[in-house]
Amino acid sequence: MSSSAHPADGDLRALLDGELSPAQRLEVEQHTGACAACRARLSALDSASQETAALLGLLPTAAPDLRIETIVSRARAPRLRWGVIAAALALVVATVAGASVGRPYVRALVTQIRAVVHPVSPAPSPAPPGQLGIAFIPGPQTDISFDAPQSSGAVHVSLADTAKLVIDPSASVTYRVYPGGVIVHNRGSAASYEIVVPRDAVHVRIAVAGRVLFEKTGSRISAPAPAEPTGRYVFELR
C-alpha cells in the first residue's frame, strides 16, 4: 500500500488484531492519523468486532439453553443494545431449534426480549393479514390470559411433542406478548381457539378474566372436564 492509498478493510482489521508487520503498522497508522474517513472506518470495524465478540459470548457453550432469562443476564453485563441481544437469541433458536429467523415464534421471543431489556407496555397491535395465530417457546411458567369471557366460542387444548406453544383462533384477535406469557385481547370476540401446548412444558396456565380454567404442571393437568377420547381438552370461555 502506498502512503497515499486508502488501506483495505483487511489491513485495518489486521491493525486492530496486531497482525501487521512493524513497517505496515507504521504506514497504516500514519495514514489513519491523517485521513478522517479511514479513522471512521477503523472505529466502525473496532465497534463491530467488539459487538461480535460480545454476541458470541451470549451463545451457550454446553447444553442448549434458550431461556430468555439466561440470555438477558449474559447480555446485561456488557450492556449490549437490545438489537444485539435479539440477534443472539434468533441465532440460538435458528441453530439449536432449526428455526428460520422471521417465523412467528422467533418474532414472539424477540418481542419478549425487548420487553425484558426495555420494560414498557407496548400498545397491542392487530395480527398481520393472513396470520390469526401466534406461536412461541414457553418459559418455565407461561400464562395465557384472556381479557374477558365470551358469550360464545370455546378453547380446545391439545398436548404435542413440539417446542412451540401455539394459539390459533378462528377469528382475528390481538395479543400482547411479555416474558411470562401472552395476553389475548378477546373482548367482544366470538372466536374459538385451538391451543397446542408442548408436552414438555413445565407450567402452563390458561385463565379467563383472571380465573384459571386450565393448568398443566409437569404431567399433571387440571381442567373443567376430562380430556376427550382424542386427548383434547375443551372448555367454554365463560
Query: What is residue 235's predicted lDDT score, i.e. its pLDDT?
Result: 94
Query: What is residue 40's predicted lDDT score, i.e. its pLDDT?
Result: 86
Q: Which of 18, 39, 56 is the last residue of a domain?
A: 56
Q: Which of 56, 74, 93 is the last residue of a domain?
A: 56
Number of CB atoms found within 10 A of residue 52's CB: 11
Asked if residue 72 lies in contact with residue 116, where contact means CB atoms within 8 angstroms, the answer is yes
Q: Are residues 167 and 231 in the same domain?
A: yes
Q: Are residues 222 and 159 in the same domain?
A: yes
Range of the domain at 99: 59-120
Number of CB atoms found within 10 A of residue 210's CB: 8
Q: Are residues 10 and 80 in the same domain?
A: no
What mean pLDDT comes out for the span 10-19? 82
Residue 141 CA to residue 178 CA, distance in Å, equals 12
* 140, three cell numbers: 418455565
Q: List pLDDT tens digits, range 76-94.
A: 555 445 555 555 555 554 4
Q: Are residues 143 and 67 in the same domain?
A: no
Residue among 172, 169, 90 at smallest CA distance from 127: 172
Residue 126 CA to residue 135 CA, distance in Å, equals 15
Question: Rounded mean pLDDT of the chain?
Answer: 75
Lowest-confidence range among 3-17, 106-120, 125-139? 106-120
Overall number of domains in the chain: 3
Asked if residue 193 lies in contact with residue 158, where contact means CB atoms within 8 angstroms, the answer is no
Q: Are residues 131 and 232 in the same domain?
A: yes
% of the chain with per-residue pLDDT over 90: 34
Number of CB atoms found within 10 A of residue 98's CB: 8
Q: List pLDDT tens digits, range 102-123.
A: 344 444 544 555 555 445 444 4
Q: Are residues 150 and 211 in the same domain?
A: yes
Residue 139 CA to residue 204 CA, distance in Å, equals 9
Q: Where do the DSSP E strands lie in the chain?
A: 125-126, 134-136, 142-146, 154-160, 165-169, 174-178, 181-185, 193-198, 203-208, 211-217, 220-222, 233-236
